[in-house]
Amino acid sequence: MSFELISPNTLRDALDLLDVDDPSIRPFSGGTALRLMMKSGVFSPSKLVVLRGIPDLSGIEISDDGSLTIGALSTLAEVETSALVARQVPVLAGALKHLSNRRVRNVARIGGAIAHGDPHMDLPPLLSALNAEVIVESRNGRRHIAVEDLVIGYYETLLEPDELIVALRIPAQDDWHSAYRKVTARSADDWPALGVATSISHEGKEIRDIRLVVGAATERPTRLDISEGVLRSEGVAGLPRAVEAAMESVEVMDDSHGSATWKKALLGVELRRSVEEILGRNA
């Protein structure tokens, strides 16, 4: 159970400490998720690489094209209270206010929250709907991965053990409008039992394009392709069919948060409500 705790001062040093062949060496930022896994004995690290001392990995910036770049070591609270975030992606600021509790948000880092791969999280489905991407670095260089592609299974991501998320990039939302609706089953600050993220590009009630992502109730954040197709072709009139398609096509898990039967019903209700919310809000 003993392990080594190392606190590098530069990104380069941190990346040098990671090892593509050794998953027992793990980067450690806020620790809110990893510490729980360590406490329950699910994960026993040999080495933890503490990222907190690395400068230049936090901060939130806006580019000329209106996209936001959020440093991976920004705490959730920093993102929640950022004026830039509130202006450019208000749905993210709103979702963070209801993510876990203030104590967690004050220490959890946005990079860790995306890299964790636990299905019961709010940010992966929401950032997928926002068409966000992460910038990932290793000793061998950088790559960009769409958040939507990042999580490939239950606690499984595309990240290699020697890679770090260094930043999150959220494109300008222009005429896209978004909602995130979630249900917690056991307490208000519980992990979500279901999260539905919806982004719609529309004019009045006319839907031009749409991105629908369900999380928490599924093994990984899942794009609702069929429902999107229905809404693109039929517009809001197709909402009942889109809801039905979502409930039929998505594989919902039974777990300690609730049965698949219940969560499937929740998915239908929350999907319908989020589309109605966005179109109603911006009508």
Partner 1 sequence: MGDKTMTTTEVGRSLPRLEARQKVTGRANYTHNLKLPGMVHAKVFRSTVPHGKILSIDTAEAASYPGVAAVVTGKDILDVVPEPYYGPAFHDQPILALNKVRYVGEPVAVVLADDPRIAAEAVELIDAVYEELPAVYDETEAMTSDAVVHDELKPAGTFPDLKHLNGRKDTNIALDFHLKQGHADAAFASAAHVFAHSFQTQQTMHTPMEPIISLAEPSGDRLIIHTASQSPSFVRSEVARLLGWSENRVQVKVGHLGGGFGAKLYIKLEALVAALALLCRRPVRLSLSMEEQFYTISKHASTFHIKSAVDKDGRITARKCEVLWNGGAYADIGPRVTQKSGFTATGPYDIAAADIDSYALYTNRPPAGALRGFGIPQLVWAYESHTDLIARELGMDPVEFRRRNILKDGRPHVTGTVMKDAAIDAVLETLAERMRWSEPFDRGEGTVKRGRGVAIGFKACVSPTTSVATVTVAADGSVTLHHATVDMGQGSDTAMAQIVAEVLGVRTEEIRVVDPDTDVTPYDMATLGSRSTFHMGNAVRKAAEHARTQLDDMAKSLGMAETAAGRVKEVFRRTYGMQAGTVVGVGTYIPEYVSPNEDGLSDNVTPFWMIGGTGVEVEVDTETGRTKLLKMVNAADLGTALNPRIVETQLSGAAIMQLGFTVSEEMILDGGQVTNASLADYKIPGIKDIPPVIENCIVDAHTETGPFGAKGVGESATFGVSPAVAEAIQDACGVRLTRLPMTAEAIFHALHGDKK
Which residue is it, tokens 């394009």?
A: 209
Report the candidate in 94, 128, 144, 103 with the shortest Cα–Cα distance to residue 216: 128
Q: Which residue among 4, 61, 254, 276 contacts partner 1 (CB under 8 A)?
A: 254
Count of residues near partner 1 by CB under 8 A: 23
Does the protein bind partner 1 through residue 261 (CB under 8 A)? yes
What kind and span of H or E run contains 182?
strand 176-183
Q: Is 151 in contact with 124 (CB distance < 8 Å)?
A: yes
Beta bridge partners of 137: 142, 164
Does the protein bind partner 1 through residue 216 (CB under 8 A)? no
**Cα–Cα distance for residue pair 229/231, rounded to 1 Å:** 5
Residue closer to partner 1 (CB basis): 158 or 260: 260
Residue closer to partner 1 (CB basis): 6 or 185: 185
Report the candidate in 119, 116, 154 with the shortest Cα–Cα distance to residue 27: 116
Does the protein bind partner 1 through residue 3 (CB under 8 A)? no
Interaction pattern, residues 176-215, with partner 1; x per rule: CB under 8 A = -------x-xxxxxx-------------------------
Looking at 6-14, 65-73, 111-119, 258-266, which segment touches partner 1 (CB under 8 A)?
A: 258-266
- State the nearest-atom distance from the C-beta of 206 to partner 1, in Å: 26
Helix 239-249 to helix 225-234 angle (10° resolution) is: 170
- Residues at the interface with partner 1 (CB under 8 A): 1-2, 36, 40, 101, 183, 185-190, 254, 256, 258-262, 265-266, 269-270
